[in-house]
Amino acid sequence: MPTPADIPIAVAIAVVQEGGWFLVGVRPPGVPLAGLAEFPGGKVYEGELPEDAAVRECHEETGLNVEVVNKYFSTIHRYDHGLLEIHFFRCCPIHAGSASRGPRPPFRWITAAELANLEFPAANHSLTEELLHTARLGARLRPKRP
């Protein structure tokens, strides 16, 4: 019989993109993975769809309303603080100009070049590699800040 440590906690992540910009924050001191960069997200409530959790968590953490465009992938990763089943979703701001209000700190808009210089949790490695690869393909266009 599985122990609670063997049952993953479902987490949904909103990878918010606007043009060539990404919405990223840094985890505060005193929490698991403190000091690492993160996309908005958090636990999926019982009975909640992961994509709904990504939208809810993004709004709660950043103040921005987003919609899910597609799903990147899901992965299971064990950290010191627990086993997580992480669902990554590509999201974009719902209202034209909503990104111009700016997100609540610690979240901010960054370029792909800045993304490449940040340290993310280990479970994000494949995702950040994919984002950077896609950004390199579109690098011919200079992104306009949201």
Question: Which CATH number does the domain housing residue 122 bear?
Answer: 3.90.79.10
> Quick check: is 145 in a domain?
no
- Per-residue pLDDT reduced to its tens digit, 21-36: 999 999 999 999 999 9
> Quick check: is 1 in a domain?
no
Domain that residue 36 falls in? 7-137
Inform me whether the pLDDT recorded for 97 exceeds 60. Answer: no
Number of neighbours of residue 71 by Cβ within 10 angstroms: 14
> Quick check: is 2 in a domain?
no
If one counts the domains in the chain, the total is 1
> Quick check: is 30 in a domain?
yes
Number of neighbours of residue 8 by Cβ within 10 angstroms: 15
In this prediction, residues 101-107 reach a mean pLDDT of: 88
Biggest alpha carbon–alpha carbon distance for the chain: 54
Please state whether beta strands 41-43 and 66-79 pair in parallel, antiparallel, or not at all (unpaired).
unpaired
- Per-residue pLDDT reduced to its tens digit, 72-90: 999 999 999 899 999 999 9
The answer to whether residues 69 and 93 touch, using CB atoms and an 8 Å cutoff, is no
| Banded pLDDT at 101 (limits 50, 70, 90) | low
* Residue 7 structure tokens: 């049952």
Q: Residue 124 is which amino acid? A: N
Residue 98 confidence (pLDDT): 47
Q: Tell me the β-bridge partners of 41.
A: 13
Interior CA angle at 31 toward 46 and 23, to 5°?
Answer: 75
> Quick check: is 143 in a domain?
no
> Quick check: is 77 in a domain?
yes
> Quick check: is 107 in a domain?
yes
> Quick check: is 67 in a domain?
yes
In this prediction, residues 52-56 reach a mean pLDDT of: 98
Name the nearest CA neighbour of 81 among 2, 1, 5.
Answer: 5
* Residue 77 structure tokens: 């990763």
The answer to whether residues 110 and 90 touch, using CB atoms and an 8 Å cutoff, is no
Nearest-angstrom CA–CA distance, 33 and 35: 6
The answer to whether residues 21 and 111 touch, using CB atoms and an 8 Å cutoff, is yes
Residue 99 confidence (pLDDT): 46
Q: pTM of the predicted model, to two decimals?
A: 0.87
